[in-house]
Amino acid sequence: MKGDDLAIIVMDLEWTAWAGSWQRHWSGAGEEMEIVQIGAVRLADTPALEELDAFDILVRPRINPKLDRYFTDLTGITQDQLDREGVDLKVALAEFTEFVGPSTGALGFGDEFSHIATNCQLYGLANPFADCRCDDVRAAVMALIGTERVPNSSDLPRLLGFAPPGIMHQGLSDSRCIAEALRRARKAGRF
C-alpha cells in the first residue's frame, strides 16, 4: 500500500471473549465473536508514517450484551463504559466508513474485515466493507522481530522496545502498536 496520495489505515478490533474462548476458537455454548470496539489510525504514506487521525468506538454486542469478567480484565473496557458510550454495530460501521473514506484497504494483525463480515452476517446487516480487504502485516512484523511465533499486537511494545501507546488490548492502542511496528519495518526496508 504505497502511494503519496493515499493514506494508510491500520485497524484493530476487540470482540467478546471468555476464559478459554481463544483456545476453543469461540466454539463454546453461546460464544460469538461480537465486535465490542473498533480502533484505527490513518497514517501518511511517507517514510515516517505519521499519524494523521484516529478512530475509536465502542460497540454494544447484541447476542451477549453483558461483558464477561475475562474480557473486562483483559481490555479494561467496563460494562458501565460500554452501556454509556457504546453504539449499535450499524452506527459504528457507518462512522468507521466515514473515517476510512475512499480507501479500499486496511492493514491489521489478521484480516479484521473478515470479522466485520461475520458480524454483519450474524446481525443481518449490509457489510459496507464487502469490497475492501485487510492485509495481514504479521509476517512483516515477525520478520522484523526475528520470530516465527505470531505475537499479539499488544505484545509489540515489549518485543520492539517502545512505550505502550495506551491501554493494551484496546482497538486504538493496539492499532498504534501495529503502526509503530510498521514504522520500524519501513525504516528497515521490510514494509
Return mean pLDDT, the chain.
95
Domains of the chain: residue spans and CATH: 7-135 (3.30.420.10)
pTM of the model: 0.94
Residue 89 confidence (pLDDT) above 90: yes
pLDDT digits (tens, 9 = 90+) for 25-42: 999 999 999 999 999 999
Q: Amino acid identity of 141?
A: V
Q: Amino acid identity of 148?
A: E
pLDDT digits (tens, 9 = 90+) for 47-84: 999 999 999 999 999 999 999 999 999 999 999 999 99
Residue 1 confidence (pLDDT) above 50: no
